[in-house]
Amino acid sequence: MITSAIIPRPLARLPWRLIFLVAAIAGFGLVVLYSAAGGSMQPWAVKQAIIFCAFLTVAVGMSWLKESTIKALTFPVYGLTLLMLIGVEGLGFVSKGAQRWLDLGPIRLQPSEFMKPAIVLTLARFYELVPPGEIRKWRAIWPALLLLGVPAFLILTQPDLGTCIMVVLCGVTVMFLAGLPWWLFAGPAALVAVAAPIGYGMLHGYQRKRIDVFLNPESDPLGAGYHIAQSKIAIGSGGIWGKGFLHGSQSHLDYLPEGHTDFVFATMAEEWGLAGGVLLIFAFAMVIRWGMKVSANAKTRFAQLAAAGLSATIFFYVSINLMMVMGLAPVVGVPLPLVSFGGSAVMTVMLCLGLLMALERHQRTTSTIG
Amino acid sequence: MNGKRITPVHQSLTFSRRMVLLGGAQVLVGSVLIGRMGYLAVAQNQKYQLLSESNRVQLIPVPPRRGWIIDRNGKPIAINRSSFRVDIIPQQLVDKPETIVMALAKLLQLTSDEVDRILTDLKQGRGFQPVQVAENVTYEQYAAVTVRLPDLPGVQATRGFSRYYPDGPAVAHLLGYVGTANAKEYEAEKKNPLLIIPGFKIGKQGLEKTLEPYLRGTPGGQRVEVTARGKLVKELDPKPDRSGNTVQLTIDQGLQQYAARRMGDQSGALVAIDVASGDVLAFVSMPAFDPNSFSEGIGRTEWKMLSDNDHIPLLNKVAQGLYPSGSTIKPAMALAFLKQGIDPKRRVVCNGGYQIGNRYFRCDAVHGAMDMRSAVERSCNTYFWATGLIADAEQTTEMVNYLGYGQHFDLPIPTQRFGTMPSPKWLEKKYHREWQGYDSANTSIGQGYVLINPLQLAVMPARLAAGKLIQPRLLMRAPRKPLPDLDADPAHLAFVRDAMAAVVNEHGTGVGSKLPLDGILMAGKTGTAQVFRLGNRGHEGNWALRDHALFIAFAPADKPRYAMGCIIEHGGFGAAAAAPIVRDSMTYLFDKQKAYAALDPLEKQWGGTLAERNARQLAAFKSASRASA
């Protein structure tokens, strides 16, 4: 926090370190997008800069929201988002083979994006309402499963496996932190571990092949494994210091597919090397750590759970994307927030950060009072 | 905790514990990610860098220019001429291949067969490898394609190089020709990608084939950066190609061409050798194909014309033609007799023939009393029959073989046949019978089993003239081996040389072929080899049954510098058909003007120069085959 006589108090109150950090990540993203376009601001960098600035403004604006306001809006927003998800099923706009967009005249909305922070807030609110003594009861579990399961199912049928996984992971994280019994998490995890090989045996040929390709992309370098194989080549060939700005051949010669969206990290790693990658991962780690600290310092149960859940959302975004790009996870279509081109991920992350800033401001102001 | 009542304090504790757990898990995931990235970027960096480079850079081989072949004076015999060609780069095609190929077919007048071939090649080709549309197109066609290039994306009109032999057929059998590698040659070179570049030719025959490693050079490469879709982004620093080496031959291009032209329409061979070094100055086999047609890909009509010709233009007569030596063997025989101690003054009376056993051998004339010198000079068979019978057959044939007949020479010519110089031992081994008197008789006049090639026909007089064991050589740069003296008495050699000089300059069979030069005498020996049957000198009648005409010579007679051997198939008497050709070719070496003065009226009589007659012949054949088709 900058304390200076010249800067007006409300501005000085903003968490400037976080804003600088986020702006730095986004700025680096613009540099990568500039390179991915072959050394041009068009068509991605300029657009992305505008989107980022717009959502940063929204986030900063949101930081003045009161915790009580957030609480009050949680269930209505959740309900509205759920309605929009159902709307997508009916009136959705088909893009890239999946129905994700709701076309509302001038704006196109992707309701599944709103669901990520919405599910976190909703579950945080729900567990705040559950009395501590009831937390291990069935009553504390089934409504949460329903609140999480219905939107997850709707998103899965769009189909958008990546977002579905993220929504589920965010929700589960909040439930885990809320103190639900261990076996509820350990049980299914063990079940999946046991069932996976059996399920694999029962799969159809082409389904099994998809998994084979994920486990060993080189087995089908021109087909399904192409994305991962080329992405690994881009990252691996970058070395420690990279090939240099604008010198990434994998991205510039189109060998790397989706080099400006989902695989933007590979584009970056090719030109900036391990150094750039580690720097970016640390920057994200700092952002997430900031969010986790907001949660740890929170005074209310809602703030605790919401802040942790929102930080986890950012964490899952980043880690799923990076695992996918580095060949540790199947290609599920999760972009790298703030770096990948496109508004949805920026919007979601900025909503999360806006809410986190609001919660942080709330604890600071209350702490100064009390 | 189970069973206990959970209070907010408990809940807060659980939350803190689980937050630590969550944070730990996040740090773990982050570490795994960094570890994974480090593994990819550091441990496997080399592997991925290689993969990235092989993605980025494609190599388009640039064929090297074939080395020149030059003569002993540096005059080019085989060069590269710029030619125009049209190719298609499949990946740069925008329109359907059929559309483009049809447009090109109209511009270049391609046949439907060629169109089919191009379309097949386009389907099978790899994106950036050009597919040949046409080569050796005219400048007008090249220009017509060039101006339309903007409308023909993917089409490439380029200047290339094609092999050119300025002397055409005159050097055909010496040099051979070049052509596109066939499947077998491609396999033999372990699928060398160079061989399948459109327009790339390799040596197929003659020196072009044997000297291939020197002439080919090393291909360069146009390294290009291409996108994943095969679009060319930029050309990187090219790997320069290295032209093939120039190979210098011992051939005298002027003599080679002159001798080829002097042969006219006759079928024959002529070899000239530098007596001092063994350098082969001329290596002529006529008639011959035009190697330029072969290097451009020969037409079916021309091929048919060549293979139908009874003068066998496709046969390299110098290397593969075998003929009885006829009387050209006599100087060698004389040397063999002398070495065996036979007195050269000993006389044999020629009554026009000789009786051996129950067979009567007929001489060409009634020569009267002959000694060794006059028998060589007048080519009296009776003397050699009679003397052959008193000489030791094994030793005699050994000497003739030693002088070159039937000998193997190490020359860079792909297929050579060396013939036979029969001896009693050879006969025993080959036909399991004893050497008879008539074998000696036949051999001593170069008939019977004697078979020689035209190269040996030149080596023999060269060895006699030099008194050294000359080895013919074709490559100027090949190491020169010291030439040992012949194992013969110099006085005997002088005697034989003198007798050969008498053949041309006194009363001999070759007096019609004196050199038209002051102070330079030629020594020689005529030969007439029966083709059909002994005793029937058919030099009229059916061409294919006529005798072969031969002549060997060296000049100047007193201080020999050049030796020649010449055979004209079915030419009749050696003195009439072969000797004048040798005379004029020999004249060429001393006085070019006089040589051409002799050639010009002959060519007028034949109806134009070699090149003119060839072109006319092809045109006539083409129209004839069109008419019959």
Residues 6+ apart with CB under 8 A from A366: A299
Among the options B327, B374, B444, B585, which is catalytic?
B327
Check residue B572 and give its pLDDT: 78
Q: Chains A, B: CB contacts under 8 A, how many? A: 130
Q: Do B48 and A304 touch (CB under 8 A)?
A: no
pLDDT band at A113 (very low <50, low <70, confident <90, very high): confident
Cα distance between residue B76 and residue B253, in whole Å: 8
Domains B59-248 and B321-475+482-593 share a fold: no
User: How large is the ipTM?
Assistant: 0.91
Q: What is the model's pLDDT at position B330?
A: 93
pLDDT: which is higher, B408 or A195: B408
What contacts A342, CB < 8 A, 6 or more positions away? A261, A335
Residue A35's pLDDT is 93
The b/e string for B407-424 (b: 16+ C-beta within 10 A; e otherwise) is: bebebbbbeeebbbbbbb
Q: Provide the pLDDT for residue A223.
A: 60
Q: Tell me whether residues A237 and B49 touch, CB distance under 8 A.
A: yes
Assign residue B439 a region (left: φ > 0; alpha: ψ between -120 and 50; beta: otherwise): alpha
Residues of B whose CB is below 8 A from A277 = 34, 37, 41
Residues 6+ apart with CB under 8 A from B282: B251, B252, B255, B256, B259, B270, B271, B272, B564, B585
In this prediction, residue A104 has a pLDDT band, given cuts at 50, 70 and 90, of: low
Distance of CA A322 to the CA centre of its chain: 11
Q: Answer whether A226 touches B (CB < 8 Å).
A: no
Q: Which pLDDT value is given to residue B608?
A: 82
Check residue A368 and give its pLDDT. Answer: 45
A169 at B interface, C-beta within 8 A: no
Q: Where are the beta strands (DSSP E) in B264-343?
A: 268-274, 280-286
State whether B52 and A292 contact (CB < 8 Å).
no
Q: Range with the lowest mean pLDDT among A65-79, A175-189, B105-119, B121-135? A: B121-135
pLDDT at A91 over 80: no
**What is the rounded CA–CA span in Å between residue A200 and residue A330?**
15
User: What does the CA dihedral B397, B401, B404, B409 come to, rounded to 10 degrees?
Assistant: 160
Residues 6+ apart with CB under 8 A from B422: B397, B439, B443, B448, B449, B450
pLDDT, position B54: 83
Residue B535: the pLDDT is 44
How far is the CA of B44 from the CAs of A213, A238, A268, A277, B33, in angstroms?
20, 10, 18, 16, 15
Q: What type of residue is B605?
A: Q
Homologous superfamily, domain B321-475+482-593: DD-peptidase/beta-lactamase superfamily (3.40.710.10)
Say if pTM beats, i.e. exceeds, 0.80. Answer: no
Which residues does B561 contact at the CB level (< 8 Å), separation at least 6?
A: B274, B275, B276, B554, B555, B589
Q: How many residues does chain B have?
A: 629
Q: Which helix (H) or strand (E) holds B369?
A: strand B368-370
Note whether A52 and A338 are within 8 A (CB). yes
User: What number of other Cβ atoms are within 10 A of residue B53's Cβ?
Assistant: 12
Quick: pLDDT tens for A302-353.
999 999 999 999 999 999 999 989 988 887 788 999 999 988 889 999 999 9
* Contact criterion met (CB < 8 Å) for B42 and A240: yes
Active site residue B327: yes
* Residues in chain B where the model's pLDDT stays below 70: 1-5, 125-129, 229-230, 295-300, 532-541, 625-629
Give me the pLDDT at residue A69, please.
93
SS3 A173: helix
Give B 37-66 residues with CB within 8 A of chain A. Answer: 37-38, 40-42, 44-45, 47-49, 51-53, 55-56
**How far is residue B616's CA from residue A288's CA, in Å, rounded to a whole number?**
92
Q: How far apart are CA A306 and CA A71, in angstroms?
A: 10
| DSSP annotation string for A263-276 | THHHHHHHHHHHHH
Residues in B 231-250 with any Cβ partner in A closer than 8 A: 233
DSSP type of residue B506: S
Contacts of B233 in chain A (CB under 8 A): 253
Q: Where do the structural domains in chain B lie, given as residue ranges?
A: 8-43, 59-248, 321-475+482-593
CATH number 3.90.1310.10 given to B59-248: yes
Closest CA to A321 of B37, B94, B407: B37
At residue A55, does pLDDT exceed 60?
yes
Owner of token pair 């993969």: B51
Is residue A251 over pLDDT 50? yes
Evaluate if residue A205 carries a pLDDT over 50.
Answer: yes
